[in-house]
Structure 1
């Protein structure tokens, strides 16, 4: 449990520091190129799930945040009761990654609306989110939304290459776009890596010693 706790704390701290830096130094939609054209810091806010997915407006957002907390406490319970039977590096890393990823994003959705003065908010007139607002946010605890209505800060953007599908290909011909266009954060990455490890090594991870 100690090793899992350390992994979780390190990832959550890195995740939150990166989000606070972006939120308090970038305007929404602002982008900075890090490496050529394939790695950018692009500040967007996500009112829903990982990689920009969302559903259900404010009610769905509250349900999602509470569900994340339930998952976190359930995972802590599982680790504390079963973790000693599976004390191996692969299990520790997988548990730490998944726990840190869930915790990193639920902190945003639970508390960011109370911490920052501006952010993405729900507009009942158009039944959608107001995703753009002027200026750079301040962490002055004046608040822009109630508890559970804060938005997740995303900033990692890897538009690896643009593509154009020839018109001659049935069904999908003529489509254009960018390969890997989601904007995400460190917490999303932790969840994805943890899930991939489980997919390929689940027998080793959950084998009782």
Structure 2
């Protein structure tokens, strides 16, 4: 149940901030928070990270649906002790759904966090990236090793 709560929290926070940006800023408007370092800049992104695959809304929606279906199927099979993996999955699902809501509504994703040296992004994007990081760290550092079996060792 905590993964669902985390995902819903990410979705609600993401959508609320996007709504605030859309209702209080005009498209293209940029507000310096720390001049030349961090701005709130309202843009609409028709693609994925770095604007790749512009206007491929159907693909992005299909991938998000497949992600959610995979999580619903595999999540019960993840050992309860794999907390970092579960955290990563919750973040990733919340972020994916947050961006899919935008794509379904408008065909674009609302982006607003602008560090000037990186493409503008949003809370859902942060959740996806942090979630993937948690999953990768969990898989490389906290999953049981199978090296004994690979080397012909049949001991468990």
Q: TM-score, normalised by structure 1?
A: 0.63
1:197 aligns to 2:131 (yes or no):
no
CA distance change for structure 1 residues 97 and 207 in 2, over 3 Å: closer, same or farther?
Answer: farther
Please name the residue that 2:112 is paired with. 155
Report the Cα distance in structure 1 between the residues aligned to 2:88 and 2:21, rounded to whole angstroms: 27
Cα deviation, residue 64, structure 1: 2.2
Report the Cα distance in structure 1 between the residues aligned to 2:52 and 2:16, rounded to whole angstroms: 23
- The aligned length equals 145
Contact map agreement 2:88 2:133 (CA 8 A) in 1: no
Report the Cα distance in structure 2 between the residues aligned to 1:91 and 1:196, rounded to whole angstroms: 9
What whole-Å deviation, never above 9, does each CA across 1:140-180 have from its counterpart, x for those lacking one? xxxxxxxxxx2110000112xxxxxxxxxxxxxxxxxxxx3
Report the Cα distance in structure 1 between the residues aligned to 2:97 and 2:143, rounded to whole angstroms: 22
Report the Cα distance in structure 2 between the residues aligned to 1:70 and 1:4, rounded to whole angstroms: 17
Unaligned stretches of 5+ in structure 2? Answer: 146-156
Cα deviation, residue 204, structure 1: 4.5
Please name the residue that 1:11 is paired with. 10
Calculate the aligned-residue CA RMSD, in Å. 2.0
Cα deviation, residue 200, structure 1: 2.9
Contact map agreement 1:52 1:183 (CA 8 A) in 2: no
Unaligned stretches of 5+ in structure 1? Answer: 114-149, 160-179
